[in-house]
Structure 1
Amino acid sequence: MPDLAWWAWALLCLAAIVVGVSKTAVPGANAISVAIFAALLPARQSTGALLVLLLVADLFAIVAYRRHVDWATLLRLAPAVVAGLLLGVLFLAFADDEGVRRVIGALLLAVIAFTLGWRRLRRAVEDPGPHRLAAATYGTLGGFTTMVANAAGPVMSMYFLAARFPVKLWLGTAAWSFFLINVSKLPFSIGLGLITPSGLLLDLVLVPLVVAGALSGRWLAGRLDQRLFERLVIGFTVVGALYLLLAP
């Protein structure tokens, strides 16, 4: 078990709750969990510990939103996500902890800028449909960021934001997407030494808080206005990205 101060444990407990809420209510909020784990644990170890918690939350999310899934979107994203995952494996084989944090923070900010610009351009040409370029861009970045730091939530949320998904369809499609991605990451994470015995002990302590967060998020999602939902996603993503990029 990691030897941490009481305030560090308090932050990890908060991060575990946010993991659950991010899966069933506000996907971009997971950027906060990524930042907390990366700040309190070695960045590579934090990736493995967080992955297990995300898988637990994924199970709650796919049950909660099993009737709200756009399978065509998942198939469209799949090739790019796989390519991004493989790039992430190569990166982790050579990168150190600081490099991981900085790269993810920079990518998240770039994704936000790209998404807002993309939405403005599409609004100007009155074209609400999905594009192959967007699927390739977000899918590759999502695969890379999820492998490197479990930060695909904000990236893929930006794709669903650009595609103007309603809240429940957004959450259901994202739930199945992340579950399938996270399961596929397990062999790579074990092989790279990201999942450790001490990390699993930490997960065992935090899992009940993930469950509580997921149940709370399910209640919250039915009461969120679409515009507020989108603003929360963007706001949490910006905060998490800036922390990863600027933290000492």
Structure 2
Amino acid sequence: MNTMTLWHLDGWEFAALAFAALLVGFSKTAVSGANTVSLAIFAAVLPARASTGVLLPILIAGDVLAVLVYRRHAHWPTLWRLFPAVAAGVVVGTVFLMWADDGVVRTSIGAILLLMAGVTVWRRRRAAAGEEPDGLTTRAGRVKARSYGVLGGFTTMVANAGGPVMSLYLLSAGFRKLGFLGTSAFFFLIVNTSKLPFSAGLGLIDADSLLLDAALVLFVVPGALLGRWAVDRINQRLFEQLVIAATVAGGVQLLVG
């Protein structure tokens, strides 16, 4: 894998990756989607394609912590509805990674995130005005779940950027803060773990990347604790605004980066 090892990083590079790992922990227990900033930092310090393999175990560590904190708040019917579509998206993303270069990956995902953020804001305004039913049980709701599921699987496979996609879906489905975080925690623990053999098969995970992960994963814990402290101090409206803002910021970063 074309990546730097722990021994080739200078102090500032390691500090940047450590901050990104802390932010992963924070995003998993507070503002899901904010870890797109972590994605951008990893891609800036490491080769962009290889950075996805280094970041994946760190994300899984954050997922484990989030599940421990929010395990009682998951909505399993939503998860079962999403998984088949997500699996299809992961397969498509794996095929895409076989030929796409870093620039194509970043541009594609950045455009998807911005488009979906706009659609989410538009749908929520229509639902608030009573012009559009918003839920999970209608036929339109099932179609929406499949669409977001495929896009979520695709984006999480090619760039570990599925967080904003699923965040937008859960917001559009009307999830409150704790239900949002609990459902998201189990979703990404299962999906990210299932990606490990795909990433290893593509050469994105090896002994060097795992050694770097071992040094960085320690910073995920304080980030998760900070997020758990902060989430009780964020009201629902601000929480939703922060999630959408993080999604837009991540999309712009991918497009211009």
TM-score range, shorter chain: over 0.9
- Equivalent position of 1:127 in the other structure: 133
Aligned residue for 2:71, secondary structure, equals coil
Instruction: Give the superposed CA RMSD.
Output: 1.3
Contact 1:58 1:175 in 2 (8 A): yes
The aligned runs of 1:70-219 (5 Å cut-off) are: 70-123=75-128, 124-125=130-131, 127-130=133-136, 131-219=141-229
Q: CA deviation at 1:221?
A: 1.4
Write the distance in 1 (CA, Å) between the matches of 2:168 and 2:241: 11
Normalised TM-score (structure 2): 0.92
Contact 2:123 2:132 in 1 (8 A): no
Contact 2:34 2:243 in 1 (8 A): yes
- Is 1:234 matched up with 2:234? no
Write the distance in 1 (CA, Å) between the matches of 2:143 and 2:122: 14
Q: CA deviation at 1:30?
A: 0.9
Contact 1:38 1:101 in 2 (8 A): no
Match of 1:26 among 24, 31, 36: 31
Q: CA deviation at 1:126?
A: 5.1
Write the distance in 2 (CA, Å) between the matches of 1:108 and 1:9: 28
Q: CA deviation at 1:121?
A: 3.0
Contact 1:43 1:101 in 2 (8 A): no
Write the distance in 2 (CA, Å) between the matches of 1:127 and 1:215: 36
Write the distance in 2 (CA, Å) between the matches of 1:92 and 1:121: 36
- Aligned AA for 1:42? P
- Aligned AA for 2:241? R
- Is 1:222 matched up with 2:232? yes
Write the distance in 2 (CA, Å) between the matches of 1:38 and 1:107: 18
1:145-187 CA distance string (max 9 Å, x none): 0000111111100011111211110000000000010111011
- Aligned AA for 2:109? I
Segments of 5+ residues of structure 2 without an aligned counterpart are none
Write the distance in 1 (CA, Å) between the matches of 2:132 and 2:252: 32
Deviates more, 1:126-135 or 1:174-183: 126-135
Write the distance in 2 (CA, Å) between the matches of 1:7 and 1:231: 32
Aligned length: 247
Write the distance in 2 (CA, Å) between the matches of 1:191 and 1:126: 44
Q: Percent identity?
A: 55
Normalised TM-score (structure 1): 0.95
- Equivalent position of 1:54 in the other structure: 59
- Equivalent position of 1:67 in the other structure: 72
Match of 2:12 among 7, 15, 22: 7
1:192-213 CA distance string (max 9 Å, x none): 0111222212111111101111
- Aligned AA for 1:20? G
Write the distance in 1 (CA, Å) between the matches of 2:120 and 2:211: 38
Write the distance in 1 (CA, Å) between the matches of 2:113 and 2:161: 8
Write the distance in 2 (CA, Å) between the matches of 1:173 and 1:46: 26
Write the distance in 2 (CA, Å) between the matches of 1:121 and 1:184: 36
Write the distance in 2 (CA, Å) between the matches of 1:8 and 1:114: 36
